[in-house]
Structure 1
């Protein structure tokens, strides 16, 4: 599935809403895509030294998978870019982590790029938060907890979610967008190469990913992880239902998981219920 900057935009009618400080949106033009590449260059090349900066003389990190990816961008309400992640779709190239990781056990079939099940997989990749939004004491490489807003701004659509105190604000906003676009595009499974600190962080948020292979050196010491979107929803609803409501707020009613009812179109609230067969 090839995605250029116009094809990769979110559905125009999709109600993504906004949080108190940040807007999260799919990249829809060349300017925003360049911003994504520059955030990645700063984090992956200059700060963490995972990639050689000399390979990117224009200070924009990109690779062959970007043309097959849905790129997402977090922007501060003042207009400053804050973070990014991409969802790499199935294509003849396979997935980035397949060039480095080996799947084992129940997931050994994923070592075959031609396996038909991979048509509905996507890889979560190149997650990065700008250093400008990691300056508070206690912030991790993926940012920190929500900022305290001084009050609701006139005309702002603020999502009704108070995350746990230590929830990385930018990270969970990007995850919300990634979740909704996966639902819209028929993605049933995610794979991701993660360092242990990131895995522990998202596990504390209730996000269920299963280790699927041994640790390798790929942008740091990482392991491949896999989850189904359905298992992700079920586990999150059982542990942190408010987080699932946040992720689903604004999603079209027909795409909502069975464990929650619907999101009001204006994003005001979401009711839980046990959907009857």
Structure 2
């Protein structure tokens, strides 16, 4: 990637990928099948299901991102989800609140005391094996290392995980979410710092498919703080998410008129 391309991340992303909000049953089925392929068949994190769909209790109150290639084949690449508070029981803990119940530092923030409609959790990020490039990533659902950003002499950019995270931010912004929580590898904050995203660790590490730490991000601060070279990618991702909602609304209107 040239230095010029590095500063045109939106254009570079569109050459290779398309991001969508999985708003209908068919798109969500793709999400669940990617997750089954990665989490159940490849990594063994979850049991193999007869229908080859990895679904849990949180999915019925979650929003999902689905990443494809931009070529004619529109190959499936990866996915993630934004877990919202349960509408009928908003005080029900989010996944990380259960996993990290014993390690959360509630002096920093206590999710149970926040307005539940203003918080959400990013989880289930999964990238298919053919798009997890480096040796040693076979046992991880996705990869993000400092090496993904290249060197000063030859910069590059990890489009796949970053676009999926930005997709979750775009969904959160649409839903009026103020605070995002995420359970991640300890060094994610270092990697995201390169993009201008501040992640605050809010508790001690836990053993959850490897060592993970609970962290939080402020949605508005993420958008305001993005470094200038990331902003074109954010605009493209946000526009693609908006287009999905517009298309879905138009489709519903047509159905209603028939």
Fold conserved (TM > 0.5)? yes
1:61-94 C-alpha deviation (Å, 9 max, x unpaired) = 1100000000110011222110001011122233
What is the alpha-carbon distance in structure 2 between the residues aligned to residue 136 and residue 100 of structure 1? 29
Q: What is the aligned partner in structure 2 of residue 89 from structure 1?
A: 84
What is the alpha-carbon distance in structure 1 between the residues aligned to residue 211 and residue 134 of structure 2? 26
Q: What are the ranges of 5 or more consecutive residues in structure 2 without an aligned counterpart?
A: 1-9, 240-258
What is the alpha-carbon distance in structure 2 between the residues aligned to residue 138 and residue 45 of structure 1? 18
- Compared with structure 1, are the counterparts of its residues 43 and 200 closer, same or farther at alpha carbon in structure 2 (3 Å cutoff)? farther
Q: Is the aligned partner of 1:45 residue 2:40?
A: yes
The structure whose residues are more often helix, as a share, is: 2
Q: What is the aligned partner in structure 2 of residue 241 from structure 1?
A: 228
More relative contact order in 1 or in 2 (CA 8 Å, sep 6+)?
Answer: 2
Q: How does 1:1-277 map to 2 (within 5 A)?
A: 19-53=14-48, 56-77=49-70, 78-91=73-86, 92=89, 93-102=92-101, 103-110=104-111, 112=112, 115-135=113-133, 141=140, 142=142, 165-236=155-226, 240-249=227-236
What is the alpha-carbon distance in structure 2 between the residues aligned to residue 65 and residue 250 of structure 1? 24
TM-superposed CA distance for 1:39, in Å, is 1.3
What is the alpha-carbon distance in structure 2 between the residues aligned to residue 248 and residue 183 of structure 1? 13
Does the CA contact (< 8 Å) of 2:167 and 2:238 recur in 1?
Answer: no
- Compared with structure 1, are the counterparts of its residues 48 and 251 closer, same or farther at alpha carbon in structure 2 (3 Å cutoff)? closer
Does the CA contact (< 8 Å) of 1:143 and 1:170 recur in 2?
Answer: no
TM-superposed CA distance for 1:20, in Å, is 0.8
- Compared with structure 1, are the counterparts of its residues 90 and 132 closer, same or farther at alpha carbon in structure 2 (3 Å cutoff)? same
TM-superposed CA distance for 1:194, in Å, is 0.5
Q: What is the aligned partner in structure 2 of residue 258 from structure 1?
A: none
TM-superposed CA distance for 1:116, in Å, is 4.2
Could you say what the CA RMSD is over the residues aligned between the two structures, in angstroms? 2.9
What is the alpha-carbon distance in structure 1 between the residues aligned to residue 69 and residue 119 of structure 2? 30
What is the alpha-carbon distance in structure 2 between the residues aligned to residue 250 and residue 35 of structure 1? 19
TM-superposed CA distance for 1:235, in Å, is 3.5
What is the alpha-carbon distance in structure 2 between the residues aligned to residue 139 and residue 169 of structure 1? 16
Q: Secondary structure at the residue paired with 1:19? A: helix
- Compared with structure 1, are the counterparts of its residues 31 and 177 closer, same or farther at alpha carbon in structure 2 (3 Å cutoff)? same
TM-superposed CA distance for 1:197, in Å, is 4.5
Does the CA contact (< 8 Å) of 2:68 and 2:78 recur in 1?
Answer: yes
1:102-154 C-alpha deviation (Å, 9 max, x unpaired) = 321433422x2xx34232011001011111212466979535869xxxxxxxx
What is the alpha-carbon distance in structure 2 between the residues aligned to residue 246 and residue 132 of structure 1? 23
- Compared with structure 1, are the counterparts of its residues 137 and 50 closer, same or farther at alpha carbon in structure 2 (3 Å cutoff)? closer
Q: Secondary structure at the residue paired with 1:34? A: helix
- Compared with structure 1, are the counterparts of its residues 51 and 198 closer, same or farther at alpha carbon in structure 2 (3 Å cutoff)? farther
TM-superposed CA distance for 1:187, in Å, is 1.1
Does the CA contact (< 8 Å) of 1:73 and 1:83 recur in 2?
Answer: yes
Q: What are the ranges of 5 or more consecutive residues in structure 1 without an aligned counterpart?
A: 1-15, 147-163, 253-277
